[in-house]
């Protein structure tokens, strides 16, 4: 963190933080509305927060519940409830973990993989529509800055 030597630098920093807060708040509201739309494309009864779980399972192929909870920084009970709902919808399945028979591994079902791929294709089209006039450099810079912002939250305790 930078040491702010003068009051004008502090005021400038505070002003920049306030502007950032306004823009992030607007982005989060829009992202939440978009998450509802995307979740409904996967399954009409799916909760928006579950979409992120499906993405992690797609990337990792198989995870235990505790690993999944740690990956998103949310308590195990919240993830357990969402996984139960995804299982009822036929999007994920549980199997005995081959390394520890007492634990269960969670994976996407073939239907879950298919529905997720359809939602991702639609989301990619939406990004192209919104960001098609951006340069690759601007998109890369935004991605790097968001990665840096997300990394600053990496050590937050899980929300229960």
Q: What is the band of 36 on the pLDDT scale with cuts at 50, 70, 90?
A: confident
Q: Write out the two tokens for 105.
A: 């591994």
Q: Is 72's pLDDT higher than 70? A: yes
pTM of the model: 0.71
Asked whether 53 and 83 are in contact (CB, 8 A), the reply is yes
User: How far apart are alpha carbons 152 and 157 in whole angstroms?
Assistant: 12
pLDDT, one tens digit per residue, over 106-132 is 999 999 999 999 989 988 888 899 999
| Class of the CATH domain delimited by 11-152 | mainly alpha
Query: Which residue ranges make up each domain of the chain?
Result: 11-152
Confidence band for 44, pLDDT divided at 50, 70 and 90: confident
Q: What are 74-109's pLDDT values in tens digits?
A: 888 889 999 999 999 999 999 887 777 778 899 999
The pLDDT, as a whole number, for residue 60 is: 92
């Amino acid at each position: 963190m930078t040491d702010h030597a003068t009051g004008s630098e502090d005021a400038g920093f505070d002003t920049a933080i306030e502007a950032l807060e306004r823009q992030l708040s607007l982005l989060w509201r829009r992202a939440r509305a978009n998450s509802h739309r995307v979740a409904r494309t996967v399954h009409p009864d799916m909760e928006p927060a579950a979409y992120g779980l499906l993405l992690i399972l797609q990337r990792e192929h198989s995870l235990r519940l505790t690993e999944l909870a740690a990956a998103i920084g949310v308590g195990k009970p919240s993830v357990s409830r969402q996984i139960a709902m995804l299982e009822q919808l036929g999007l994920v399945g549980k199997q005995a973990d081959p390394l520890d028979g007492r634990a269960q591994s969670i994976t996407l079902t073939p239907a879950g993989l298919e529905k997720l791929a359809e939602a991702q294709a639609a989301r990619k089209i939406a990004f192209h529509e919104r960001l098609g006039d951006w340069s690759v450099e601007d998109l890369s810079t935004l991605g790097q800055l968001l990665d840096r912002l997300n990394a600053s939250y990496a050590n937050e305790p899980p929300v229960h």
